[in-house]
Amino acid sequence: MTDWHRHDVNGIEVLERPGAGAALVLLHGIGSRAASFTSLLSELAPETRVIAWNAPGYGASRPLSEPWPEANDYAAALLGVFDALGLVEVTLVGHSLGTLTGAAFAARHRDRVARLVLASPALGHGVPRGAALSQAAQARIDDLERMGPVAFAKARAPRLVHAPQANPELVAQVTDGMSAVTMPGYGQAARMLASGRLLDDIERLAVATDVVVGAEDVVTPPDGAFRAYGAVPPRHRGRYILVPGAGHALYQQAPAAFAAMLEDQTETA
């Protein structure tokens, strides 16, 4: 079953596959969107309820009001989705930038999350809000404004895929998703990344937490993911999973392995 039900929840566009029991909630990265999880659906048990949001400023989701939001601001928007949908004890999965939102949310709302999965974690750049942006974050904004979203995506997307020349269909899929980014949402997300301090929120976690990363990820490499794993309080530390043959677009390049990991965590949560 791969059909999404699309609806608006407090100004946030949500894709949902109805199902029974506790939900699986998916948070995409900075150059992606909710629909990027579509290929994952067919690998998950058909009865699993799956919810993927378009983060504020992505797709039809309303941008945040703060020009330079922080992870807590995205977590507050996510709480509105949880409240509207009556979500409790979910498996919360953040990918890349989504890990910053996921960890911020789980650290503040531990009663709503049974298990947290940090996939290809973006550690953040630790820049105080209002200071000069990190070079990497500023380059993202400048490149998008200068090149436009289509050329921007064509230039950046191949780096997210391991062995891009051998995986042209996957590169095209990632490029298609990235070409949909727009301002101000992307600029807000880049600023959130600049001010992000993932390790700080991880240290405050009181929910079972796993970290998973592609062995060939050059965007958020395994050494950074292992730092994130080491920051999880020992009593809540789950598994550190290295997925062979996968790059940063982890759940798109290795959907079967990613789904197997999620199903296993759902069963043991």
Interval 11-28 mean pLDDT = 95
Model confidence band, residue 3 (pLDDT cutoffs 50, 70, 90): confident
HSE of 130, CA atoms in CB hemisphere, 13 A = 1
Report how far apart the first and last C-alpha atoms of the chain are (Å, whole number).
24
194-213 per-position pLDDT tens digit? 999 999 999 999 999 999 99
The domains located in the chain, with CATH, are: 5-268 (3.40.50.1820)
Buried (b) or exposed (e) across 57-92, using 16+ Cβ within 10 A? bbbebebbeeebbbbbbbbbbbbebbeebebeebbb
47 pLDDT above the threshold of 80 = yes
Interval 229-249 mean pLDDT = 98
Provide the percentage of residues in the chain whose pLDDT is more than 90.
Answer: 95
Interval 96-104 mean pLDDT = 98
* Amino acid at residue number 121: P
133-170 per-position pLDDT tens digit? 999 999 999 999 999 999 999 999 999 999 999 999 99
| Confidence (pLDDT) at 266 | 52
269 pLDDT above the threshold of 50 = no
| Confidence (pLDDT) at 268 | 43
| Confidence (pLDDT) at 20 | 87
50-80 per-position pLDDT tens digit? 999 999 999 999 999 999 999 999 999 999 9
218 pLDDT above the threshold of 70 = yes
Q: Hunting for tokens 């807000």 — which residue is that?
A: 188
How does DSSP classify residue 89?
A: S
